Chains A and B, each alone.
Chain A
Amino acid sequence: MTRRSGPFRLPQGGLIDRARTISFRFDGRTYTGHPGDSLASALLANGVQTIARSFKFHRPRAIFSCGNEEPNGLIQLDHSDRTTLCARAPLIELHEGLEAHSQEGWPSVRFDVTRVLDFVAPLWGAGFYNKTFIWPSWHAWEPLIRRMAGLGHAPCGEDPDRYDLHNLHADVLVVGGGRAGLNAALQAAREGVRVVLAEANPALGGHNASRQESGTGEVVAELARLPGVRILTRTTAVAAHDHNVVSLIEQLDSPRKTAPRERYWMVRTKHIVLATGAIEQPLIFANNDRPGIMLAGAAWQYLQRYGVAPARRVLIATNNDSAYAIAHDLAEAGVAVLAVLDTRADGAEHPRGSEQPAHTQWLPGRIPLDTSGFDALRSVTVGRLSRDALRVVSRQTFSCDGLLVSGGFAPALQLYSQCGGKLAYDDASGVLQPEGEVAAVEIVGSASRRVPVGPRVSPTGDTHRQWVDLAHDVTVADLELAVRENYRHVEHVKRYTTLGMAADQGKTSHAQALEIVGRLRNAPPRQLGHTTLRPPIVPVTLGAIAGRDIGERFAPKRRLPMHEWHASHGAIFHDFGGWQRPVVYIKSGESREQAALREARAVRTAAGLFDGSSLGKIEVEGPDALEFLDRFYINNLKTLQPGRARYGLMLRETGILFDDGTIVALAPNRLLITTTSGNAVRVYQWLEEWRQCEWPSLRLTITPVTEQWAVVSLAGSRARTVLAKLECDIDLAPAAFPHLNMREGTLLRLPARIYRVSFTGELTYEINVPADSGPKLWEALVDVGEKEGLQPIGLDTLMQLRLEKGFLHIGTDSDGTTVPDDVGWGKVAQTKQADYIGKRSLALAEHVRADRLQLVGMRALGEKPFVIGSHLRVQGSSSPTDGWITSAGIATLTHEPIALALLRSGRYHLGEDVNVFDDGALIGRARVVTPMFYDPTGERMRG
């Protein structure tokens, strides 16, 4: 039983289940572990040391820590679509059949030829890409360098897993389920408030979980009995947002396929208790990155939680008191602890516990200087420090395969900082500590302790070989280079060297960098400030952030009332502001362009049927309804009679075109306006904003009815003939129902509002019936219209038809600078005496300039069709451009290319020929004409 799960598994100890075994694979080889193991502990137990290669130099690397601060042990888990990259080995729960791979190293992680890069390390100094690999260009080298520096590969297929979002409200959120966190949760729960506790590990109890008399069990039991307590394990608090909103990510027990893979808990809480613990820090010396070098506290965790020995012969180097107990425990477990080095001169005076291991030397005033061992640690050179710790006075060497380092403890306070808490470098503990307080945020446990430390940086040695950030291979020499090249501010040092920018976010390098940069700049580290501790504090998958709002649920799809009919009759749908709208209806093998041309011909020669139900519709009712609406349009509405429809242009307060539509008076105090489909909601919100904020004393209500009415547009010279075939109580005779009128009545026994307004330029009846009845009306019209040549038409066709008439399409033929006069509505805008939104702005100097872009028509001099966006230049122009083509198409009956354009002083250039440019090349010439290509008097519309 004792050696089955590896040569470094101790015969007893740990919280693992030794009675059962788990089989797992790493880099293709099978190993054995136990339930309760992490991937890191199982690999260490099996003596698998080198599991990664460093980022730049491809040096061999091994597990360094026992937590989310892990900078070396980044693993590729699983394969194909479920694969995860850069999974931190200490956090991966071992399960039967787990498949893991190292991420770098060719041909293998154990023997990596790319290590030659280490021999030319100076080529890869900070900012190297700005200095080397310049010829022939950086881009020639980049793919190669990226491949060599890659950290795993991302899955390419669709994610087969599910991720859920949950919302929680709490009175107290406790982050961290160690002893301090459990006690805080218990205290709050006893008061009867709602408590949420989040613990990143699968088990509660933290560092004390392995201690028999810790009392963890009792606390957990009582918490389970109290109401209003929710404990989430395997759950990390990744970010703190404004107003005490905290994001938690829960990893579910893999590989259950029926449950979500991760859960995102968004917690809104009144109080936050941070029991997040402290992150042990390393010491800085030459070749401090070899396999076999590990944080002392991590080695202790591997011993206590997993029954794993870090090595056979270890040296411990520390600058604080914590390592002594570790030395004692390791020796008791049978590990040979050669010596404990303490960088503090008076280290021998510090308490060492009542039992000192017999064969362990106690060496105060010593610091590691260098290590040897090509593949793994073989020896450590130790220096005796001078009294002032600035020089080394003597050296000695130890043969060992393990070096455990402890350079102090940095409280994990990223969340505190994100809550607005201030942190500052504390000289005594060598790390960032909180300054001041944050209301409703409390720090407890080891996160609240300041551990005083001695020296942590070796005073001698080649700084090119002294690592500060293991994850990004950043050395002390890189920091020296950054400061030398004047990247002195900590934010610049970070970005120039990439220190702290890897997945570990500098958890074991930030403090050391502040100390070293302070020394290089001859400034107290406290004065340097620190880089921002941004959320999330550990990598978060995009899956967890997206949750269920993916695929079909990414954005709601809105369907027209006659959608089913369109779908079964060859419609091609496009998404317009969420609405699925037919652009054309394809008949037997024709192209989209051919379909549009056929449909347009039908409208011009017979009749067409258009589903315009997405058109915005808003009813405004009340004694002040007319007065209110009149303030929004450039058109005078005060003379509008019931039954009459008027086309209206709406502006922003800056005078810029906003929307257009029709206004109809249903009754003296009841009006209905239409808007473009895309602005239906915007215009409604616009009206409400002015009503509530500016004119609250006006008496009216505003009701959007866009989705309540189906809109069936029947357009063409045969429109009246077709409509007359249906049962209708409205008199359709031209004298009784002229253009720009609206009639209410019944059609096919359905309540109907019929408008005579036209966007096609033909006789048009825009029929509104209750939305659910739309299909019935549509099918009835299709039926009776067939013999008359009636065809359904899509949006492509509608755009084509309105283009021939020069009808404005706001946003296409206008932009964020266009005012009414630019598009030919200047006179109307000026004539209206009453004030309206935007009116005052039309008098601003900018809006009355003679050289403004004005809407004109374009006729091609040749047969090539116009390209939208082509630039125009008038004869003798000295500007790079005088305007551009905004809309383009083919005249339905004559087939000649036509377009609309915005041209500087366009109306002045009517009749002239201009040059047309596309993509920098002259492609043709065109004549500037009035924007009207069909039925200039409009008699077809008004028939």
Chain B
Amino acid sequence: MLRIACPYCGVRDEPEFIFGGPAHVTRPNAQVDDAAWTAYLFNRKNPAGTHLERWLHAYGCGRWFNVARDTRTHQILQTYVMGPPPPDPNDA
């Protein structure tokens, strides 16, 4: 069971949250070709290492935020609010 630091509420148990897939996925405009649109729908990176992802504090404050998690160890390196661009890996 993960313990996740919601930027608004502090550290809480994993069952309070819903996982929301990779973060910083940019929605392209409708003019892109089929290949680019399909890539946006389905293609995702699957790193063995730091993964930037979205979580929702569903049974808490109800806000979405971002998490940098190591997919090998589940160590959570950082959590940060929704909106800003991804953190510089050199800072983490």
A305, CB-defined interface residue at 8 Å: no
B43, CB-defined interface residue at 8 Å: no
List, in ascending order, chain B residues with CB within 8 A of A653's CB.
41
Q: Chain B residue with minimal CB distance to A247?
A: B1
B92, CB-defined interface residue at 8 Å: no
A911, CB-defined interface residue at 8 Å: no
CB < 8 Å neighbour of B1 from A242, A693, A696: A242
- Which of A482-490, A567-575, A586-594, A684-692 lines the interface with chain B? A684-692
> In the bound complex, do residue B2 and residue A242 qualify as a contact, i.e. CB atoms below 8 Å apart?
yes
> In the bound complex, do residue B41 and residue A654 qualify as a contact, i.e. CB atoms below 8 Å apart?
yes
List, in ascending order, chain B residues with CB within 8 A of A243's CB.
1-3, 74, 76
Residues A844 and B38 in contact in the complex (CB < 8 Å), given A689-B20, A689-B64: yes
> In the bound complex, do residue B82 and residue A696 qualify as a contact, i.e. CB atoms below 8 Å apart?
yes
What is the distance, in angstroms, from B81's C-beta to the closest C-beta of chain A? Answer: 10
User: A243 vs B11: C-alpha distance in the bound complex, in angstroms?
Assistant: 11
> In the bound complex, do residue B73 and residue A420 qualify as a contact, i.e. CB atoms below 8 Å apart?
yes
Q: Chain B residue with minimal CB distance to A688?
A: B62
Q: Chain A residue with minimal CB distance to B76?
A: A243
- Which of A277-285, A346-354, A835-843 lines the interface with chain B? A835-843
Residues A693 and B54 in contact in the complex (CB < 8 Å), given A242-B2, A245-B3: yes
List, in ascending order, chain B residues with CB within 8 A of A840's CB.
30, 32, 37
> In the bound complex, do residue B64 and residue A693 qualify as a contact, i.e. CB atoms below 8 Å apart?
yes
What is the distance, in angstroms, from A107's C-beta to the closest C-beta of chain B? Answer: 48
B83, CB-defined interface residue at 8 Å: yes
List, in ascending order, chain A residues with CB within 8 A of B62's CB.
688
Interface string of A670-707 (1 = CB under 8 A from B): 00000000000000010011001110100000000000
Secondary structure at the A interface, as helix, strand, loop or mixed, is helix
> In the bound complex, do residue B37 and residue A692 qualify as a contact, i.e. CB atoms below 8 Å apart?
no
List, in ascending order, chain A residues with CB within 8 A of B54's CB.
693
Using a Cβ–Cβ cut-off of 8 Å, how many residues does chain A contribute to the interface with B? Answer: 24
Interface string of B63-92 (1 = CB under 8 A from A): 110000000011010000011000000000
Residues A694 and B27 in contact in the complex (CB < 8 Å), given A242-B1, A242-B74, A685-B58: yes
What is the distance, in angstroms, from B87's C-beta to the closest C-beta of chain A? Answer: 17
Q: Chain A residue with minimal CB distance to B62?
A: A688
> In the bound complex, do residue B37 and residue A689 qualify as a contact, i.e. CB atoms below 8 Å apart?
no
A845, CB-defined interface residue at 8 Å: yes
Interface string of A831-859 (1 = CB under 8 A from B): 00001000111011100000000000000
User: A696 vs B54: C-alpha distance in the bound complex, in angstroms?
Assistant: 15
List, in ascending order, chain B residues with CB within 8 A of A420's CB.
73
User: A845 vs B27: C-alpha distance in the bound complex, in angstroms?
Assistant: 20
Chain B 1-52 interface residues, beta-carbon cutoff 8 Å to A: 1-3, 13, 18, 20, 27, 30, 32, 34, 37-38, 41
> In the bound complex, do residue A841 and residue B37 qualify as a contact, i.e. CB atoms below 8 Å apart?
yes
Q: Chain A residue with minimal CB distance to B40?
A: A653
Q: Chain A residue with minimal CB distance to B83?
A: A696
List, in ascending order, chain B residues with CB within 8 A of A242's CB.
1-3, 74
Q: Chain B residue with minimal CB distance to A835?
A: B30
List, in ascending order, chain B residues with CB within 8 A of A844's CB.
34, 37-38
What is the distance, in angstroms, from B53's C-beta to the closest C-beta of chain A? Answer: 12
List, in ascending order, chain B residues with CB within 8 A of A839's CB.
30
Q: Chain A residue with minimal CB distance to B63?
A: A692
User: A11 vs B63: C-alpha distance in the bound complex, in angstroms?
Assistant: 69
List, in ascending order, chain B residues with CB within 8 A of A241's CB.
1
List, in ascending order, chain A residues with CB within 8 A of B38's CB.
844
Using a Cβ–Cβ cut-off of 8 Å, how many residues does chain B contribute to the interface with A? Answer: 24
List, in ascending order, chain B residues with CB within 8 A of A266's CB.
1
What is the distance, in angstroms, from A823's C-beta to the closest C-beta of chain B? Answer: 21
A268, CB-defined interface residue at 8 Å: yes
Q: Chain A residue with minimal CB distance to B41?
A: A654
List, in ascending order, chain B residues with CB within 8 A of A845's CB.
34
Q: Chain A residue with minimal CB distance to B20?
A: A689
List, in ascending order, chain B residues with CB within 8 A of A843's CB.
34
Chain A 549-581 interface residues, beta-carbon cutoff 8 Å to B: none
Residues A245 and B1 in contact in the complex (CB < 8 Å), given A685-B58, A696-B83, A840-B37: yes
Q: Chain A residue with minimal CB distance to B2?
A: A242
User: A696 vs B38: C-alpha distance in the bound complex, in angstroms?
Assistant: 25
User: A839 vs B29: C-alpha distance in the bound complex, in angstroms?
Assistant: 11
User: A106 vs B34: C-alpha distance in the bound complex, in angstroms?
Assistant: 71
What is the distance, in angstroms, from B12's C-beta to the closest C-beta of chain A? Answer: 10
Q: Chain B residue with minimal CB distance to A243?
A: B3
Q: Chain B residue with minimal CB distance to A844?
A: B34
Residues A689 and B30 in contact in the complex (CB < 8 Å), given A243-B74, A653-B41, A841-B37: no
List, in ascending order, chain B residues with CB within 8 A of A841's CB.
37, 41
> In the bound complex, do residue B82 and residue A692 qualify as a contact, i.e. CB atoms below 8 Å apart?
yes
Residues A685 and B56 in contact in the complex (CB < 8 Å), given A653-B41, A694-B27: yes
What is the distance, in angstroms, from A511's C-beta to the closest C-beta of chain B? Answer: 26
What is the distance, in angstroms, from B73's C-beta to the closest C-beta of chain A? Answer: 6
Residues A268 and B58 in contact in the complex (CB < 8 Å), given A692-B63, A835-B30: no
What is the distance, in angstroms, from A351's C-beta to the closest C-beta of chain B? Answer: 43
Q: Chain A residue with minimal CB distance to B42?
A: A654
User: A654 vs B34: C-alpha distance in the bound complex, in angstroms?
Assistant: 12
User: A266 vs B13: C-alpha distance in the bound complex, in angstroms?
Assistant: 11
User: A243 vs B54: C-alpha distance in the bound complex, in angstroms?
Assistant: 19
What is the distance, in angstroms, from A697's C-beta to the closest C-beta of chain B? Answer: 10
List, in ascending order, chain B residues with CB within 8 A of A244's CB.
3
List, in ascending order, chain A residues with CB within 8 A of B18's CB.
685
Interface string of A304-318 (1 = CB under 8 A from B): 000000000000000
User: A494 vs B73: C-alpha distance in the bound complex, in angstroms?
Assistant: 25
What is the distance, in angstroms, from A307's C-beta to the closest C-beta of chain B? Answer: 44
What is the distance, in angstroms, from A632's C-beta to the closest C-beta of chain B? Answer: 14
Q: Chain A residue with minimal CB distance to B18?
A: A685
List, in ascending order, chain A residues with CB within 8 A of B74's CB.
242-243
User: A243 vs B27: C-alpha distance in the bound complex, in angstroms?
Assistant: 33
User: A260 vs B10: C-alpha distance in the bound complex, in angstroms?
Assistant: 32
User: A841 vs B13: C-alpha distance in the bound complex, in angstroms?
Assistant: 37
User: A861 vs B90: C-alpha distance in the bound complex, in angstroms?
Assistant: 72
CB < 8 Å neighbour of B82 from A268, A654, A693, A835: A693
> In the bound complex, do residue A692 and residue B3 qualify as a contact, i.e. CB atoms below 8 Å apart?
no
User: A843 vs B34: C-alpha distance in the bound complex, in angstroms?
Assistant: 8
List, in ascending order, chain A residues with CB within 8 A of B34's CB.
843-845
User: A840 vs B40: C-alpha distance in the bound complex, in angstroms?
Assistant: 11
Q: Chain B residue with minimal CB distance to A653?
A: B41
List, in ascending order, chain A residues with CB within 8 A of B37's CB.
840-841, 844
> In the bound complex, do residue A692 and residue B64 qualify as a contact, i.e. CB atoms below 8 Å apart?
yes
What is the distance, in angstroms, from B14's C-beta to the closest C-beta of chain A? Answer: 8
What is the distance, in angstroms, from A420's C-beta to the closest C-beta of chain B? Answer: 6
User: A845 vs B20: C-alpha distance in the bound complex, in angstroms?
Assistant: 28
Q: Chain A residue with minimal CB distance to B73?
A: A420
User: A844 vs B58: C-alpha distance in the bound complex, in angstroms?
Assistant: 33
List, in ascending order, chain A residues with CB within 8 A of B13's CB.
268
Chain A 256-315 interface residues, beta-carbon cutoff 8 Å to B: 266, 268
Q: Chain A residue with minimal CB distance to B64?
A: A692
List, in ascending order, chain B residues with CB within 8 A of A245's CB.
1, 3
Which one of A653, A654, A689, A693 has the highest number of Cβ atoms from chain B below 10 Å of its Cβ?
Answer: A693
List, in ascending order, chain A residues with CB within 8 A of B64's CB.
688-689, 692-693
What is the distance, in angstroms, from B48's C-beta to the closest C-beta of chain A? Answer: 15
User: A268 vs B14: C-alpha distance in the bound complex, in angstroms?
Assistant: 12
User: A159 vs B83: C-alpha distance in the bound complex, in angstroms?
Assistant: 50
User: A843 vs B20: C-alpha distance in the bound complex, in angstroms?
Assistant: 26
What is the distance, in angstroms, from A167's C-beta to the closest C-beta of chain B? Answer: 8
User: A72 vs B74: C-alpha distance in the bound complex, in angstroms?
Assistant: 38
What is the distance, in angstroms, from A1's C-beta to the closest C-beta of chain B? Answer: 52
18 A-B pairs whose Cβ atoms sit less than 8 Å apart in the complex? A241-B1, A242-B3, A242-B74, A243-B3, A244-B3, A245-B1, A245-B3, A268-B3, A268-B13, A420-B73, A654-B41, A688-B64, A689-B20, A689-B64, A693-B20, A696-B83, A841-B37, A844-B37
Kindly list 10 other residue pairs between chains A and B, CB separation below 8 angstroms, not including A692-B82, A840-B37: A241-B1, A243-B1, A243-B3, A654-B41, A685-B56, A689-B20, A692-B64, A693-B64, A696-B83, A844-B38
Q: What 10 A-B pairs have minimum CB-CB distances, sorted nearest first?
A: A243-B3, A242-B74, A692-B64, A840-B30, A241-B1, A245-B1, A242-B2, A693-B64, A840-B37, A693-B82
